[in-house]
With several copies, the nearest count.
Chain A
Amino acid sequence: MTKMSGWKKPDSMSIVFILLGAIMLLFIFAPPLKTVFSSSPGTLWNTLLEEDVYSSVLLTIFAALTATLIGLFLGVPLAYVLARHQFRGKRFVEAIIDVPIVIPHSAAGVALLFVFGSNFLFGKILNGIGIGFFRSFTGVVIAMMFVSVPFLIDAAKEGFKAVDVRLEKVARTLGASAWKSFFRISLPLAWRSIFSGSVLMWARGLSEFGAIIIIAYSASFLGWSPKVLPVLVANRFDFGLDYAGPVAAIAILISIITFIVLRSIAYRGEKA
């Protein structure tokens, strides 16, 4: 007499929604998948062995990592302040944080030049201490950081919000200073969100093209002069889709695989 209740028979809405959702997923996932499978593994391997490809991969990964580390140092405190304090204009500050997501990427590159270019304030300071910006590793890092740091700040903010503020309060009454309560309670409990925000920031940095092409078409790095991966792809596309395909596939593989692996580490052991 085993039977399923009527509830389990999907209603018309569920069917339509799942169908529309599947189209959406197909739209999102088909292009990268098609790109990856359009090149044979052999072609991908040979492409990866080209000097301007592997130097580009190294530059891109390393620059994005540097940007993420600086982002952690400056962004996590901001996220904590926003998660814990109420103040006038907080909405506005939160809107500002998302500004880099919404301004056109090439305009972001131009805007960064306006501030960090050698004729301008921060640029002069950087120059003064011997750090170049235009066509430099620093320029790449700053561009990546600018466009990607909102993801880290937003994720960290949500992470801190999810930590019961009373845990910190109890820690204080037990003798912990504000610093100790932050490092022993808040940070360990929010690390999952911060880590997955960092992964997103890193991956988003990796993906940046518009701001970087304005600032650093190529950058000197470890004796090479590589372009970042997105620039390399666009550069090769000038010679046609067949030529750009394998590099695009490599770029996609690197970002998707690291993103999904690191993200699953962040969520390991946690329920859906």
Chain B
Amino acid sequence: MISIKNLKVNLGDFFLQNINLDIEPGEYFIVLGPTGAGKTVLLEAIAGLYPVLEGEVWIGDREITDLSPEKREIGIVYQDQALFPHLSVEKNIAFGLKMRKCPKNEAKAKIDAIVEVVGISHLLKRSPATLSGGEKQKVALARALVTEPKVLLLDEPLSALDPETRERMQRELREIHSRVELSVIHVTHDFEEAIALGHRVAVLNDGCIAQIGTPEEFLRRPSSEFVARFALTRNILSGRVTGIENGCTLIDIGGTKLRATTEANGEVRLSLRPEDIFISKEPLQSTARNCFLGVVSDIADRGSVIYVTVNLPPDFVCIITRQAFDELQLGKGAEVWITFKASAIHVF
């Protein structure tokens, strides 16, 4: 649907370059990157709102690189919604139709339809200043969707919302997207949001795309330490391959020997996700190849789940549900066994 080829833009301090993206019709595509990575600028370049130094933007088989923004049929929703403060909700939504000289009856029908989909029929007469964050977000969404853009760009649409609203809006975004089939590019710095929403995800680092893939690929096979950290893989370790035993590669990490399924050699960096580690009071009888005794060195309570750090050494961060935590009766200094599969270890 939308293709970005070799895009390069100037961000002042650095360049965003070699950006190549092909987004399918109806795909929900996430661009993930830390603050200051140029995510907003990327969207604005796609929408024709920021100058492009090199590269092309195509929608289907039509190049739009040189088109002015009002002719691109690309909608945008900003983080703080950017509703026109001097217009009512209804006039905000009608703005795009008016600009495109949509006949009155038709405009009314379109507004009614989109307002229904987004669920804001009761807000039409209100002024934007009186809306809550979630309501504003929906109005901004309706305003962008009512003009039936080919592509919708979302610039951190949920990060200004409080946690509860954010979760609800994530769910509603998924639902709205499933009802109005269009390509979405959603930029965010929140990994969980990316995982929750994206069909595919691209991670930006230092002005380039570090990895493109499905959420599952990011969790299981981060291409670099940067991506692994960003994916909140809490265990990133250094080790040295010392040999092979029973088909498993042995990796020495400061005395402890891990068994992994890798063909790497010499010094390696590896990652292990906290949910792949099983904690128990007794050594576990299972097919998992790694099982070690350690001491609980830190407990970070997150409500529903709890992060338990177990020191062998080194430290391993594990996640367990509150229920499991209560059953195990863990405390700082307790001795526990941690168990994980050889395949859970990912070597960069």
Interface residues of A (CB under 8 A from B): 1-9, 11, 164, 166-167, 169-177, 180, 184-185, 188-189
Contact A7 to B76, CB < 8 A, known contacts A173-B69, A174-B99, A174-B147? no
Contact B48 A167 (CB under 8 A): no
Closest 9 pairs (CB-CB, A-B): A174-B96, A6-B66, A5-B52, A175-B99, A172-B69, A175-B100, A166-B82, A176-B99, A169-B49
- Per-position binary interface string of chain B over residues 55-69, scored 1 when its CB falls under 8 Å from any chain A CB and 0 otherwise: 000000000011111
Contact B82 A7 (CB under 8 A): no
B74: A residues at CB distance < 8 A = 173
Near A by CB (< 8 A), chain B positions 29-78 give: 44-45, 47-54, 65-70, 72, 74-76, 78
B149: A residues at CB distance < 8 A = 173
CB contact between B54 and one of A3, A11, A188 (< 8 Å): that residue: A3
Closest residue of chain B to A174, judged by CB? B96
B interface residue count range (under 10 / 10 to 19 / 20 to 34 / 35 or more): 20 to 34
Interface residues of B (CB under 8 A from A): 6, 44-45, 47-54, 65-70, 72, 74-76, 78, 82, 84-86, 95-96, 99-100, 143-144, 147, 149
Contact A185 B99 (CB under 8 A): no
Contact A7 B86 (CB under 8 A): no
Q: How many A-B contacts at CB < 8 Å in the complex?
A: 91
Contact A4 B86 (CB under 8 A): no
18 contacts between A and B (CB under 8 A): A1-B6, A4-B51, A5-B48, A6-B66, A7-B50, A7-B52, A164-B82, A167-B84, A170-B78, A170-B82, A170-B84, A170-B143, A172-B47, A172-B69, A173-B72, A174-B70, A175-B70, A177-B68
- Tell me the bound Cα distance from A254 to B193 in angstroms: 61
Given contacts A173-B47, A173-B70, A176-B99, 15 further A-B contacts (CB under 8 A): A6-B68, A7-B49, A8-B51, A166-B78, A167-B82, A170-B78, A170-B143, A171-B84, A171-B95, A172-B47, A172-B49, A173-B72, A174-B143, A175-B99, A175-B100
Q: Which of A2, A4, A164, A166 has the most CB of B within 10 A?
A: A166
Contact A173 B76 (CB under 8 A): yes
A172: B residues at CB distance < 8 A = 47-49, 68-70
Contact A7 B48 (CB under 8 A): yes
- Tell me the bound Cα distance from A3 to B63 in angstroms: 13
B144: A residues at CB distance < 8 A = 173-174
- Tell me the bound Cα distance from A166 to B47 in angstroms: 12
A174 to chain B, nearest CB (A): 3
A8: B residues at CB distance < 8 A = 51
A5: B residues at CB distance < 8 A = 45, 48, 51-52, 65-66
Contact A175 to B53, CB < 8 A, known contacts A164-B82, A166-B82, A167-B84? no
Closest residue of chain A to B71, judged by CB? A175
B51: A residues at CB distance < 8 A = 4-5, 7-8
Contact A188 to B48, CB < 8 A, known contacts A170-B78, A173-B76, A174-B99? no
Q: Which of B67, B68, B69 has the most CB of A within 10 A?
A: B69
